[in-house]
Amino acid sequence: MKHDHIIIHNNPATQSHIDSLIRQTLQSSRLIADLGAAEPLHKWLAAFKDDIKSAYFCMDIQTNPKLDFVGDLGQLPVKNDSLDVVICWSVLEHVYEPQQCVREIQRVLKKNGTGLFQLPFFYPCHGTEQSVDCYRFTIHGLKYMFSSFQKVEIFPQDDYAHVLARMLFGFSKKPLFMKLQSAVSALLHACLKMLGKRLNAANNTSGFFIHAIK
């Protein structure tokens, strides 16, 4: 199966580039759905609050009074071709049928609508009985899952050195540990450079950011 419409970036995306892409997408959209989020403007999305100029709603399968509605990502209670943007961040590993969920997202997006996704590749299991953690995703699987979109860009979030550094500190997000991770990562990068090693980040990353256009 040919995937000429899918661009795979072999180097990690810079945070500024990802932020710019997200900001541009949000600012130019009329109807935005945040699907699978525990609550509106959850975690990272709060930084883009001022970029959301129009209608935004949030859905999750677990009840929360802050949500606009509760629903199943595999059977969205949304009309065909109705949304400009769908955000699905760190969600698809928590469903039993991720391919079905991607199909549903494509169904509800308008023509030329945008899907913003984040999926893990090398990351600790973080499921609970209420929020199962089922899958990790490779480039081959992602190309297949998103093949029906007209244009797809897949960005590794980091690379081998970053993953090793994060493993040493248990993928902790505490400020001190994150600083230590950065220092260890820089040292590992220097060692790899001295050894003449260049590793494809798309095959050695903790996860992927995906920008998909219907």
Alpha carbon distance, N-terminus to C-terminus of the chain: 19
pLDDT at 108: 98
pLDDT at 1: 64
pLDDT at 51: 94
Give mean pLDDT, residues 122-143.
92
Give mean pLDDT, residues 37-46.
89
pLDDT beyond 70 at 181: yes
- Residue 86: exposed, middle, or buried by beta-carbon count in 10 A (0-12, 13-18, 19+)? buried
Domain presence at residue 187: yes
pLDDT at 195: 86
Q: Are residues 110 and 184 in the same domain?
A: no
CATH number of the domain bearing residue 146: 3.40.50.150
Number of separate domains in the chain? 2
Highest mean pLDDT pick, 55-64, 100-109, 119-128: 100-109
Q: Determine how many CB atoms are found less than 10 A away from the CB of residue 27.
A: 13
Name the H helices within 8-117: 15-27, 98-108
pLDDT beyond 90 at 42: no
pLDDT at 21: 94
**Residue environment code for 160-188, b if the CB has 16+ CB neighbours within 10 A, otherwise e:** bbbbebbeebebeeeeebeeebeebbeeb
pLDDT beyond 70 at 157: yes
Q: Are residues 108 and 182 in the same domain?
A: no
User: For residue 129, what pLDDT band results from cuts at 50, 70 and 90?
Assistant: confident
Q: Are residues 140 and 169 in the same domain?
A: no
Q: Are residues 144 and 191 in the same domain?
A: no
CA 23 to chain CA centroid, Å, is 15
Residue 67 is part of which domain span?
A: 6-158+201-213
